[in-house]
Amino acid sequence: MTVSLGIPVLPGRTPAGLPPRPAGARGLIDRYDREATDLRVSLTDRCNLRCTYCMPAEGLPALPRDQALSADEIVRLVGIAVRELGVRQVRFTGGEPLLRADLVDIITRCAALEPRPEISLTTNAIGLAERAETLRAAGLDRVNVSLDSLHAATFAQLTRRPFLERVLKGVDAAAAAGLGPIKINAVLLPGVNDHEAPELVAWALRNGHELRFIEQMPLDADHTWSRDSMITAADVHRLVGERFTLERAQEPRDGAPAERFVARGRAGDDLGLEGTVGIIASVTEPFCADCRRVRLTSEGSVRSCLFSHTETGLRDTLRAGADDQALADLWRDAMWAKPAGHGLDDPSFVQPARSMSAIGG
């Protein structure tokens, strides 16, 4: 068994140099007293958009089909995660998860697992209008939709595709199908869509969605990210503050990546608008110490951190006939080796080889 990106990891063994994993620990614990209960499963590395902060214009070489996990394999691994490893939330992502033809089958079968996980989807919403009700009926609980601009030209500039209307229809259909509360993920880029921050807030509040601003992370395939030019959480406060007050929400954060604020319109048409806005400050205010996430890539590798340089492959062990216990142990070992933090602010930080679409955001 080898990881795709570096250090070899043997099934059922603690990687060299790490203290041994405590015997008898069932969940996905690590050396820093964290337990991962939130699983992100990438269903594909393919995508029908080319967001500039994620993919290159020409796309990325897609994983050969036989190397990607089948629906049976995904359901088997999610089953191990919820039965053996204490995972309670499963979020399907990608690439674009709606591109998976067997998505309804995967969700139906994951919703039948015991204990039943909470099931959500992170999507660009292209094609969601046609599938929202079927996905809801299959057992999907909620969707997060990525939407960075409400203007067709800016949307096309950012995503390199002219599909804004389809995304907006997808959001409406998801709300009508009961897939809420819908969270809208927005990445702001300087000089491109940062000026739209208050407009995005107003639109989200009017429609009953929770907008979350995500700081741009160095996970773009083009490697153009720069700490100096990114829009920070502090910038978001300044930009949104032009039209809305933001008051820190009272409820405990509870391991969530987003810090939540109650936004209230200051004047004019915004008066009376009120709702929650989140800020995910992964770069400037990292929340690694409370991280509860673990990722499974579309080829079946565990990534304990978005910024990992190592992965633990489960697929080949699974295909070789391993039982659930062996796979669970391999997974536990991968999590035990999770680093304390992503080290983005460390001068020695090196961007991972994989970009966001290939990891599963």
**Number of chain positions touching ligand SF4 (CB under 6 A):** 13
Out of 90, 110, 322, 356, point to the residue binding ligand SF4 (CB under 6 A).
356
| Segment 22 to 51, residues that bind ligand SF4, using CB under 6 A | 47, 49-51
Yes or no: say if 54 and 187 are a contact pair by the CB < 8 Å rule: no
CB of 266 to ligand SF4, least distance (A): 31
Place of tokens 């990445």: 187
Structure tokens given for 198: 């208050």
Strand pairing class (274-280; 259-265): antiparallel
Place of tokens 């079968």: 109
Dist CA 73 CA 70 (whole Å): 5
CB of 96 to ligand SAM, least distance (A): 4
Q: Does 54 bind ligand SF4 (CB under 6 A)?
A: yes
CB of 194 to ligand SF4, least distance (A): 17
Place of tokens 């004047």: 267
The one of ligand SAM, ligand SF4, none whose footprint includes residue 185, by CB under 5 to 8 A per kind, is ligand SAM
CB of 49 to ligand SF4, least distance (A): 4
| Contacts with ligand SAM, residue ranges (CB under 6 A) | 47, 53-54, 93-94, 96, 122-124, 146, 185, 187, 214, 216-217, 219-220, 356-357, 361
Q: Does 95 bind ligand SF4 (CB under 6 A)?
A: yes
Nearer to ligand SF4, 147 or 205 (CB): 147
DSSP track, 113-152: SSSPPEEEEEE--TTHHHHHHHHHHHT--EEEEE---SSH
The one of ligand SF4, ligand SAM, none whose footprint includes residue 93, by CB under 5 to 8 A per kind, is ligand SAM
The one of ligand SF4, ligand SAM, none whose footprint includes residue 220, by CB under 5 to 8 A per kind, is ligand SAM
Residue type, 236: V
Strand pairing class (118-123; 142-146): parallel
Question: Is the bond preceding residue 56 a cis peptide, omega within 30 degrees?
Answer: no
22 CB-near residues (< 8 Å, 6+ apart): 29
Yes or no: say if 56 and 48 are a contact pair by the CB < 8 Å rule: no
Place of tokens 């809420």: 180
Structure tokens given for 247: 């008051």
The one of ligand SAM, ligand SF4, none whose footprint includes residue 55, by CB under 5 to 8 A per kind, is ligand SF4
Q: Does 357 bind ligand SF4 (CB under 6 A)?
A: yes
Yes or no: say if 50 and 57 are a contact pair by the CB < 8 Å rule: yes
The one of ligand SF4, ligand SAM, none whose footprint includes residue 99, by CB under 5 to 8 A per kind, is none
Nearer to ligand SF4, 81 or 125 (CB): 125
Dist CA 327 CA 84 (whole Å): 10
Structure tokens given for 42: 């990438």
CB of 269 to ligand SAM, least distance (A): 28
CB of 66 to ligand SAM, least distance (A): 23
> Cβ-count burial of 241 within 10 angstroms (0-12 exposed, 13-18 middle, 19+ buried)?
middle
Q: Does 55 bind ligand SF4 (CB under 6 A)?
A: yes
Element (H, E) at 107: helix 103-111
CB of 187 to ligand SAM, least distance (A): 5
* Residues near ligand SF4 (CB under 6 A): 47, 49-51, 54-55, 94-96, 124, 146, 356-357
